[in-house]
Every structure is written in C-alpha cells, then in structure tokens.
Amino acid sequence: MKPETRKNEIIIKAAALFKDKGYSAVTMRDLATALGIKAASLYNHIDSKQAILQDIILSIAEEFTAGMETILQDEGSSINRLNQIIQLHVTIASRNADGMAALNTDWMHLENKLDYYLSLRDTYENNFRNIIIDGIEQGEIKDENVEVILFSMLSTLRSLYLWIPKKEDLNIDQLSDSLSAILISGINT
Amino acid sequence: MKPETRKNEIIIKAAALFKDKGYSAVTMRDLATALGIKAASLYNHIDSKQAILQDIILSIAEEFTAGMETILQDEGSSINRLNQIIQLHVTIASRNADGMAALNTDWMHLENKLDYYLSLRDTYENNFRNIIIDGIEQGEIKDENVEVILFSMLSTLRSLYLWIPKKEDLNIDQLSDSLSAILISGINT
DNA sequence: GTCTATAGGACGATAGAC
DNA sequence: GTCTATCGTCCTATAGAC
C-alpha cells in the first residue's frame, strides 16, 4: 500500500513541512533540503509541487469517503453510526496526522482537483448530517439545531491532527472511547 | 475603537484575503488591487506585510486574554464559567470572523511576535484547563480525561469563524445557547 | 538519480516625482 | 496619498552533463 519509493518519501516529507508552515510557505528548496538533495532532483520523482498536494489531500479524502460508505451499509442506530464516524476520524488522523493538516488547511490551494475535493467533502457532510437527522427523528438524539450538532462534532474531529501526535500515551481506542463519551453524552454530571 | 482610517481599511481587507488564501499566498499586489490602489501605495500606511499580520492576530489574542480575566474574576460555578467562555468565543468570532481565521491558521508566520502570541495562547489554555479541573473536583463535571474535554471544546470554539458567516439567520445569543447545550449536556436522549 | 546552471517571472519593499 | 520605475531576491520548473 505504501511502498518505500523515493516518490513516497517525498510526499511524506512534504506533508510534514506543509503541516508546519502551510503549502504556500514551503518551497521546493525547503523540501529538497529536508531530504538531503537539490530542488531540481525532486522533479525526477514528482511532476510538480501541486501534484504533491493533490496526492496528499485526495488520498485521505477518498479514505473518508470509503469509510463513510461502509458505515452507511452497516445496520445500526444513529448513535452507533456516530461512534463509528468518531472511530474513523481517530484512525485516519492517528495514521496520517501530517496529511490531515494539509487536507484541513491547504485544500483551497488545489487547482484542477479543487472541484473534485469539494464534491467529496460535500457528500461526506451530507451523509453525516442525514445520520444526525435520522437520530433526531428516531428519538435517539436531542432535538437541538442540526447544523450546530454537525458543526460541533466535525470541528472536533477535523482538529484531531493537531492534537493526536502529542498524546502518544493515550492509545487510539481509549481516545476514541473518551471522545465518544464527551461528544455524545456531554460533560456535566 | 476602529476609526475609518486608511490603515484600518487595509488591515480589514487583508484579513479577508488571508482568510481565503492564507497569509503566504496573498501578495501585496493582491491586497493593493483589492483596495483599488498600487502596491507601493500601501507602504504609506503600513510598515510591512508582517506588521499587518501582527496587528490582526495580536489584537484578537489580547481580546481573548482580557475576556478570560473577566471570567476568572467573576464569582460562578465551573459550568457557568464554561458558558461564559463559549459566549466570549461566539462574540469575538461573530464580530471578526476574518481575523479569527488569521489567528487560527497563520499564527506560525508571526516573526518577532511569535513568542508573545504563544505565551498568550498558553496562558489562555491553562486558565481554560484549570476551570475544567475545578469543575471535576467540585463534582460539576464528569471525571473524563481533562485534555480530551479541553481539546474538544477548544476545537469547536476555534472553528466558529468558519461557520458563523454562513449562518446569519441564527443570532449570536441563540448560537451561544445552542452551543452551550450541546457542548455541556451532549446530544443523546 | 543527482547534479549545475539558468530561464522567466513574481515577490516585498524603496526612491522619488506629482 | 498615489503613482511609475526599479532593486535584489526568491520562486517553480527545465535542460543537459555525469
């Protein structure tokens, strides 16, 4: 799935640099230096800086799309599906925090593939929203504003990349459970 | 407080452009064009591109610091304080969504003032964390992982800028109340 | 697969006229 | 307060040697 090709090393390292400074502020010279080579040498492995960004963002976006489809095919209550979504985000963010940073902060720098990315994101959010609406209709979820519930959960889940790398003592199952408890049941006694 | 000086127009417009493309991707020529002047003319009003970023980010960061100090001086339960923090974020984000975007996504491009910004952020997070810890000790807040609670609330509150401008039908008091209900009491029935 | 050299353009910022 | 002109630097990407 992730062969140790030179191209893959470049993409992994680029994602790490993008996380720290953002796509626009990272130069091909920065990336080359971080890999111990010259900027011109990068072009033997990748087509352009833009192609690196596309690779990072779209592979993750497609992972989320596939994960959501699995969740929708499963039988299960709405709360159960929300817990599966939480687990999906924790899993992807813990495996590729740097890529998640690029997806969250640099998606607007996608050029040709911007529309494709936006369509994936839109579909994902619609599926997420429909799960919440179903839950309210079934009486599993409180009748609060749907958009506020969706926004609140998505904000937390999309920010996981900022936070997971610092908390290696908390394993991903514990984190997933703890997040479920807090997002679903709240914090007051 | 915000006189309609040319300098202020520049800063307001810069914040709007930074929100769309990020600090690094916005050029002084972009900014000048958006204001209907030439890039060189900007320098009669501002010292540098960097100075614009500092102005945007630090004025908001100091607003949060002052807001937190008021909350800490007030008598009140931990839950009450958390509700005041939610209100603080909604108020600032609704008044200056573009500036919040810069604070959230471009703080790392601060040069001389980076350490100052980080010290304000650190103090703010520590105060937030201590309110949660107090609440757990007093039995007002569930004994879940403190860092997960802090992260979850902060992630949602920090993302408000992305979302408030699109929801003008929801007034800020309604939004504040709805967010409180969801973040404090959860969503399950 | 990496290098040197460089094309061709955009960048932030300054000087000085009006 | 805005302009034109320009400086010196950095940018992505290509050409061609090794």
| Distance in Å, residue B181 CA to nucleotide C11 C1' | 48
| 3 state SS for chain A | CCCCCHHHHHHHHHHHHHHHHCCCCCCHHHHHHHHCCCHHHHCCCCCCHHHHHHHHHHHHHHHHHHHHHHHHHCCCCHHHHHHHHHHHHHHHHHHCHHHHHHHHHCHHHCCCCHHHHHHHHHHHHHHHHHHHHHHHHCCCECCCCHHHHHHHHHHHHHCHHHCHHHCCCCCHHHHHHHHHHHHHHCCEC
At A29-64, the pLDDT tens digits run 999 999 999 999 999 999 999 999 999 999 999 999
Please give the radius of gyration of chain B, using alpha carbons only, rounded to the nearest integer: 18
Q: Please name the residues in contact with B151: beta carbons below 8 A apart, sequence gap of 6 or more.
A: A156, A159, A163
CA B188 – CA A139 distance, rounded (Å): 9
- Which residues of A are less than 8 Å from B189 in CB distance? 139-142
The pLDDT of residue A133 is 98
- Which residues of B are less than 8 Å from A17 in CB distance? none
Domain boundaries, chain A: 48-185
| Distance in Å, residue B69 CA to nucleotide C13 C1' | 40
CB pair distance less than 8 Å for A178 and B20: no
Beta bridge partners, A141, equal B188
Longest dimension (CA), chain A: 60
At B70-103, the pLDDT tens digits run 999 999 999 999 999 999 999 999 999 999 999 9
By the 8 A CB rule, do B10 and B52 touch? Answer: yes
In the 8-27 segment of chain B, residues within 7 Å (Cβ) of strand C are: 26-27
At A121-133, the pLDDT tens digits run 999 999 999 999 9
CB pair distance less than 8 Å for B21 and A24: yes
CB pair distance less than 8 Å for A163 and B151: yes
CB pair distance less than 8 Å for B155 and A151: no
CA B38 – CA B32 distance, rounded (Å): 5
- Which residues of A are less than 8 Å from B144 in CB distance? 178, 181-182, 187
At A64-122, the pLDDT tens digits run 999 999 999 999 999 999 999 999 999 999 999 999 999 999 999 999 999 999 999 99
What are the φ and ψ backbone dihedral angles of B7, each rounded to 5 degrees?
Answer: -60, -40
Q: List the single residue in A with minimal CA-CA distance to B175.
A: A148
Q: Quick one: A48-185 is in which CATH superfamily?
A: Tetracycline Repressor, domain 2 (1.10.357.10)
With bands split at pLDDT 50, 70 and 90, how would you rate the model's confidence at B1? low
Nearest to B142 among A21, A139, A187 (CB): A187
User: What long-range pairs does A167-170 form, CB within 8 A, spacing at least 24?
Assistant: A167/B147, A170/B145, A170/B147, A170/B148
Residue A1: pLDDT above 60? no
Residue B105: pLDDT above 60? yes
Report the percentage of chain B scoring pLDDT > 90: 94
Nearest to A181 among B22, B106, B144 (CB): B144
CB pair distance less than 8 Å for B163 and A151: yes
Provide the 10 A C-beta neighbour count for residue B110. 18
CA A163 – CA A107 distance, rounded (Å): 20
CA A60 – CA A121 distance, rounded (Å): 11
Compute the average pLDDT of residues B110-117.
98
Which DSSP letter does residue B165 get?
G
